[in-house]
Structure 1
Amino acid sequence: MKKKIAIIGGSYLQLPAVLKAKELGYETHCFAWREGSVCEEYADNFYPISIIEKNEILKECQRIGIDGIVSIASDVAVLTVNYVASHMGLVGNPDNYSEITTNKYLMRQCFVKNNVPSPLFTVAENDAEFSIAGFKYPLIVKPTDRSGSRGVEKVLTPTHLVAAVKRAQKEAFSGVAIIEEFVTGCEISVEAISFKGKHFILQITDKVTTGAPFFVELEHHQPTSLPDAVKVRVYEIVLHALDALNIQYGASHSELKITDNGDIKVVEIGARMGGDFIGSNLVELSTGYDYLAGTIKVAMGEFEEPQKRNCNYSGVYFLSKECEHILPYIENATFYPEIIQAEVTDHNLRNIQCSGDRSGYLIYKSAEGKFHVGNTKIDI
């Protein structure tokens, strides 16, 4: 009899998990609203239940008798995954730490308590009631509980702060925003997998964003071009931060900034894979390790230590009005052997304020080095 795995979320972000779980021989049970759920067509069983309905999903999982539960690219789903796992005695992170790993304000408090280097911050529960005494501009304002750059904005002067806070609060599920001192420097993320509290760092990703004011990610590239000495410091900080957040099982995606003078600050950490194809595609392309399969096997209690089989370059470029020069590469992807996947998802190209405004992508793999697209010549 096949083992059964529950997958929380049904958008295109979760589709790789459904397909990989089926490839591994598991019976898939997907929970999500039907609207916008592409996974319904592919999962063995689909349940039109909102991913925030923890108790309903728990009851259904108990009835089904699942053997594991996972979500690969959703902070909101992490809450349900840990809740169900803890109540059914399945592999998962401690439920009492779920909020800390999905709420930027609680995460910041945890970092301060555990001496994890991070930016100065405060919370804005009411747009008229917050204090930034001692802060220096520029600031960055974010919802406390959203991802994909939604509601994120850089603020240069006091006159724009209240509007930015209101925008972030509107995007937040909780209605709460966090205000931080803006940290300049290069952006990276660290992709890792954990089992029984032991962490394995798989790859470091270099990032390119739109910059101010919204900082939407336009490119990701692996492996990082950071010097080895800096990478060692990054590893030490991330391992300490994962312990502080009590992330014991599964994938994690740590976002950091490295300033011009070499300071390293942790921006945030998700107890999940990185989105934007980082976890589902790029790590395996650059290392040869099937990160997606590893994450699913952790949830099923069948984890094996990662073995990196090769070292390639991989990355993704996203299409938008700002980056319309990459459109010919997407439309003529078959002419470029480095491009392994490309798609235009919306022919109406927009200037972007969040990742949902992007209109397509191309994913590459190269043994020679970073694949440059058009006039994009950013060597990071």
Structure 2
Amino acid sequence: MKKKLAIIGGSYLQLPAVLKAKELGYEVHCFAWRDGAECEGEADYFYPISIIEKENILRECKRIGIDGITTIASDVAVLTVNYVASHLGLISNPDAYSDITTNKYLMRECFTQNDIPSPRYTIAAKDDAYSIQGFKFPLIVKPTDRSGSRGVEKVFDPVQLDKAVFRAKKESFSKDAIIEEYVAGCEISVESISFDGVHYILQITDKVTTGSPYFVELEHHQPSSLPNDIKQRVKEIVLRALDALHIQYGASHSELKITKDGDIRVIEIGARMGGDFIGSNLVELSTGYDFLGATIKVAMGEFKEPRITDRCYSGVFFLCKETERLMPIFKNWRYYPEIVKVEIESVDLRHVECSGDRSGYFIYKSSENTFKV
């Protein structure tokens, strides 16, 4: 009899997990709203229940008799995964610490208490006034509980601030925003997997964004081009941060900034895979390690210590008005042997304010760091 895996979320972000779980021989039960649920036709069983309805999902999972539960690339779904797993005695991160891995303000508080270097911050709560006394502009304003650059904005003076805070609160589930001092420098992420409190760093990703004011991600490249000594310091800080957040199982995606002077600041950490194909595609392309499969196996209690079998270069370029120069490559991608996957959702390109505004992507793999556009 097949083991049963519950996957929380049904959008295109979860589709790689559904397909991988079926490839691994598991019976897949997917929970999500039907609207936009690309996984509905791929999962063995689909339940049109919102991912925030924890009690209803718990009730169904208990009835089904699931053997594991997981999600990828969704902070909101992490709350339900931990809640259900804790009630059913399944593998997950502790539900008691779910909030500090999904709420940016609580995460900052945790970093401060554990001497993890991060930007100066304050909260603009739903109904309360906020103070930025002593803060230096520019500032970054973002919702406390969203991802995908949604609601993020760089602010250069007090005149802009109230508008940016209003915009971020509007995007926030809790209607709270976090205000933090802007850290200038290069942006990276660290992709890791953990089991029973032991962390394995798999890859470091270089990021390219639109920059001010919205910082929507346009490119990701692995491995990072950072000097080895900086990479080592990054790894040491991330390992301490993962412990501070009580991340014990599964994938994690840590975002950091590095200044021109080599100072490192942790921006945020997700107790799940990075989106934008970082976890589902790029890590395996650059390392040979099936990160997605391993994340599923963690949930099912079948994890084995990672082995890196390949050392290649991989990356993704996104299509939008800001990257319109890439359109000839998108149209003639068959002439580029490095490109392994491409999709154009629309040729009507838009300037982007969040990742949902992008119109397509292509993913590449190369044995040498020679793929340039």
- Give your verdict on TM over 0.5: yes
Which position in structure 1 is the counterpart of 2:229? 229
Give the distance between the partners of 1:4 and 1:130, measured in 2 at CA.
47
| Residue pairs, 1:1-380, within 5 angstroms | 1-126=1-126, 129-373=129-373
Query: What amino acid is aligned across from residue 365 of structure 1 in structure 2?
Result: K
Query: What amino acid is aligned across from residue 92 of structure 1 in structure 2?
Result: S
Query: What amino acid is aligned across from residue 48 of structure 1 in structure 2?
Result: P
Give the distance between the partners of 2:346 and 2:26, measured in 1 at CA.
33
1:128-177 Cα offsets, whole Å, 9 max, x none, are 71000110000000000000000100000111000000000001011000
Give the distance between the partners of 1:347 and 1:47, measured in 2 at CA.
33
What is the SS of the residue equivalent to 1:255? Answer: strand
Give the distance between the partners of 2:41 and 2:327, measured in 1 at CA.
29
**Cα distance, 1:372 vs. partner?**
1.1
Query: What amino acid is aligned across from residue 359 of structure 1 in structure 2?
Result: S
1:89-128 Cα offsets, whole Å, 9 max, x none, are 0000000111110000000000000000000000001477
Moved over 3 A (4+): none
What is the SS of the residue equivalent to 1:142? Answer: strand
What is the SS of the residue equivalent to 1:123? Answer: strand
Give the distance between the partners of 2:323 and 2:228, measured in 1 at CA.
31
CA contact (8 A) 2:7 2:18 kept: yes
1:29-75 Cα offsets, whole Å, 9 max, x none, are 00000000000000000000000000000000000000000001100
Normalising by structure 1, report the TM-score: 0.97
Pick closer, same or farther for the CA change 1:128–1:102 going to 2, 3 Å. closer
Query: What amino acid is aligned across from residue 323 of structure 2 in structure 1?
Result: C
**Cα distance, 1:346 vs. partner?**
1.8
What is the SS of the residue equivalent to 2:99? Answer: coil
Give the distance between the partners of 2:346 and 2:170, measured in 1 at CA.
26
What is the SS of the residue equivalent to 1:140? Answer: strand
CA contact (8 A) 2:126 2:174 kept: no
What is the SS of the residue equivalent to 2:39? Answer: helix
Structure 1: gaps (5+ residues): 374-380
Give aligned pairs, total.
Answer: 373
Query: What amino acid is aligned across from residue 321 of structure 1 in structure 2?
Result: K
1:203-234 Cα offsets, whole Å, 9 max, x none, are 00000000000000000000001111111100
What is the SS of the residue equivalent to 1:225? Answer: coil
Give the distance between the partners of 1:286 and 1:37, measured in 2 at CA.
29
1:230-289 Cα offsets, whole Å, 9 max, x none, are 111000000000000000000000000000111000000000000000000000000000
Pick closer, same or farther for the CA change 1:261–1:127 going to 2, 3 Å. farther
Structure 2: gaps (5+ residues): none
CA contact (8 A) 1:314 1:370 kept: no
Give the distance between the partners of 1:229 and 1:368, measured in 2 at CA.
22
**Cα distance, 1:325 vs. partner?**
1.2
**Cα distance, 1:16 vs. partner?**
0.3
Pick closer, same or farther for the CA change 1:127–1:139 going to 2, 3 Å. farther
What is the SS of the residue equivalent to 1:118? Answer: coil
Give the distance between the partners of 2:370 and 2:147, measured in 1 at CA.
27
Deviates more, 1:213-222 or 1:326-335: 326-335
Query: What amino acid is aligned across from residue 82 of structure 2 in structure 1?
Result: N
Give the distance between the partners of 1:277 and 1:180, measured in 2 at CA.
27
Give the distance between the partners of 2:301 and 2:140, measured in 1 at CA.
40
